[in-house]
Amino acid sequence: MTTFPTPSIVRDRPFGANTTGTVEPVTGLEVIEHGQGIMRATEFVFTNMSMAIAVLDKYASQKIFTLPQAVTNFVNAAGSLTLTTKTDPSGTLNGGKAVTFGFGTVAATTSTLATTNIDALPGDSAALPSFTSSSTIDVASAAVTDYLKHATAQNAAAIHDGSSTAKSLYINLAVPGTGDIDADATVEVNGRMILYWVSLHDGSLT
């Protein structure tokens, strides 16, 4: 009688499931990978990571990660971040103004963040979290904590087909209020975000 070895959870999964993503070489960004196999937790740590908000655009984006070339499911996420204005608030990003933010697979192109700009956090059907800008230069905002708000972990919006072209991950900021920014502003992001995701397959059996 033919016998087979007992399956082991430490054996490598098919479809390159243990492959991690690619970290962007951004000053002030550290990425820590947790997990094994198809279930992963990627932690993004921000330490004085600088971003520039142009007055004409009123938004800013920074690519922070490239997921493996595969279909992935964003299961959950949590972030706790602060925003520090590094330029004079009286002439650039005014104090006491809402700066919305999110993490998504597409970079922001307008001052209204939505859909793929925020599909990793808070989720494309969720209310946007926002910082309140400080009226004093170099003073951080209160920390803002937010969570992924997909209706269910298997919501179609959480499935990302990167089997042909790998999906990217961006942090996006926007200043949606009229007259809230008077000139180009520089801000710094501090805190962390952790994204829980499942690698489903890479579109092949190799």
CA distance 114 to 20: 27
Confidence of residue 18 (pLDDT cuts 50, 70, 90): low
CB 170 within 8 A of CB 106: yes
pLDDT above 50 (res 205): no
**pLDDT range class, residue 35, cuts 50, 70, 90:** confident
pLDDT in tens, 173-190: 999 999 999 999 999 999
What confidence tier does 4 reach under pLDDT thresholds 50, 70, 90? low
Q: Is the pLDDT of residue 67 over 70?
A: yes
Contact predicate 94/132, CB 8 Å: no
pLDDT of residue 5: 57
Domain spans of the chain, in order of start: 22-199
Task: Give me the pLDDT at residue 125, please.
Answer: 80
* pLDDT value of residue 21: 84
Tell me the pLDDT tens digit for each residue of 107-165.
999 999 999 999 999 998 889 999 999 999 999 999 999 998 865 444 556 788 888 89
Residue 41 has pLDDT above 50, yes or no: yes
Which residue in 32, 19, 123, 12 sits closest to 71, CA to CA?
19
Higher pLDDT, 143 or 75: 143
- List residues bridging with 31 in a β-sheet: 44
Do residues 74 and 161 touch, judged by C-beta distance below 8 A? no
Tell me the three-class secondary structure of the chain, residue by residue: CCCCCCCCCCCCCCCCCCCCCEECCCCCEEEEEEEECCEEEEEEEEEEEEEEECCCCCEEEEEEEECCCCEEEEEEEEEEEEEEECCCCCCCECCCCEEEEEEECCCCCCCCCCHHHCCCECCCCCCCCEEECCCCCCCECCCEEEECCCCCCCCHHHEEECCCCCCEEEEEEECCCCCCECCCEEEEEEEEEEEEEEEEECCCCC
Q: What was the pLDDT predicted at 81?
A: 98
Predicted local confidence at residue 153, as pLDDT: 45
- State how far the Cα of 152 lies from the Cα of 29, in Å rounded to an integer: 30
Flag whether pLDDT at 206 surpasses 60: no
Model-wide pTM > 0.85: yes
State the fold for domain 22-199.
Jelly Rolls (2.60.120)
